[in-house]
Chains A and B, each alone.
Chain A
């Protein structure tokens, strides 16, 4: 039985992603969850490379791993009373959640399994960065500008909310 490189790499990254996100979801220790999320994001970035989305993979690493994850870890550190004592987090409604989630997963997987998706013979270009840049400044110019305003407003708003002085 011979496996080609694509298959092996796909399963390596799939196992990394799913295993790490299982740790994120089921670990009792929130710091373990935060660091497992790092590996989940790495695995997803690897899948992006397999899907020929090189620019997206780098963006994923820079924004998710470099930005969002660091923010989340800051959040973890700033909202625990004592670092060593109260770092465990509880779960609730485990049984109904398991029922709902397994029904959801079964439905989704079944749907993906039985549907005959349209498969296009063409594939996106090998290097995507310049093409994405062109598209962002032509077809997607308006969403691009709106996204920049959204980011600006969100970051100013976040700074305002987080640093609000307590009135005496």
Chain B
């Protein structure tokens, strides 16, 4: 059993990248669930998006052998840039209005 695992560890392939991305995804979800600060929640979202991108590119490399996965990853990066710009604008506005960015204290849509 141990020898099998060592043998598996010695030759990185598709599974290694997928498991790495699963761990990255879980850490991102943990940050989203536990952090009070809205910006930390955004950082968790970035980790989740990066994990998804690793999956896309790993499948593109090992499973399909085409560039389609990489193109999807480019669109994910584009949307991540748009998302973080909008989210930060909203967070700055929330900070000006409520003087805090803790997501569990913000419970009104208007002051």
What residues of B have a CB within 8 angstroms of the CB of A44 in the complex? 24, 50, 53-54
Q: Report the minimum CB–CB distance from A40 to chain B (whole Å).
A: 7
Q: Report the minimum CB–CB distance from A58 to chain B (whole Å).
A: 11
What residues of B have a CB within 8 angstroms of the CB of A68 in the complex? 46, 80-81, 84
Given A135-B67, A150-B78, verify A161-B35 contact (CB < 8 Å): no
Chain B contact residues: over half helix, strand or loop, or mixed? helix
What residues of B have a CB within 8 angstroms of the CB of A37 in the complex? 43, 46-47
- Interface range on chain B: under 10, 10 to 19, 20 to 34, or 35 or more? 35 or more
- Extra pairs beyond A10-B16, A150-B82 (17, CB < 8 Å): A21-B28, A47-B17, A51-B17, A51-B57, A53-B73, A74-B88, A75-B39, A75-B42, A91-B34, A94-B34, A101-B27, A105-B22, A109-B23, A124-B66, A135-B67, A135-B68, A161-B86
Q: Which of A3, A34, A161 gathers the greatest number of chain B CB atoms within 10 Å?
A: A161
Q: Report the minimum CB–CB distance from B34 to chain A (whole Å).
A: 4
Is there an interface contact between B12 and A7, defined as CB atoms closer than 8 Å?
yes
Q: Report the minimum CB–CB distance from B24 to chain A (whole Å).
A: 6
Is there an interface contact between B36 and A119, defined as CB atoms closer than 8 Å?
no
- Chain A residues packing against B (C-beta within 8 Å): 1, 3, 6-7, 10-11, 14, 17-18, 21-22, 24-25, 30, 33-34, 37, 40-41, 44, 47-48, 51-53, 55-56, 59-60, 63-64, 67-68, 71-72, 74-76, 78-79, 81, 89-94, 96-98, 100-102, 104-105, 108-109, 112-113, 117-125, 128, 131-132, 135-136, 140, 143, 147, 150-151, 154-155, 157-159, 161-162, 164
What residues of B have a CB within 8 angstroms of the CB of A33 in the complex? 40, 43
10 A-B pairs with the lowest CB-CB distances in the bound complex, closest first: A154-B82, A122-B65, A105-B26, A108-B22, A162-B89, A97-B33, A120-B65, A89-B37, A161-B89, A112-B18
Q: Does B2 interact with chain A (Cβ within 8 Å)?
A: no
What residues of A have a CB within 8 angstroms of the CB of B33 in the complex? 93, 96-97, 100-101
What residues of B have a CB within 8 angstroms of the CB of A53 in the complex? 57, 60-61, 70, 73
Q: Which of B19, B46, B74, B102 gathers the greatest number of chain A CB atoms within 10 Å?
A: B74
Given A56-B73, A90-B36, verify A158-B88 contact (CB < 8 Å): yes
Is there an interface contact between B22 and A40, defined as CB atoms closer than 8 Å?
no
A150–B83 alpha-carbon span in the complex (Å): 10
Given A21-B27, A79-B91, A135-B71, verify A7-B11 contact (CB < 8 Å): yes
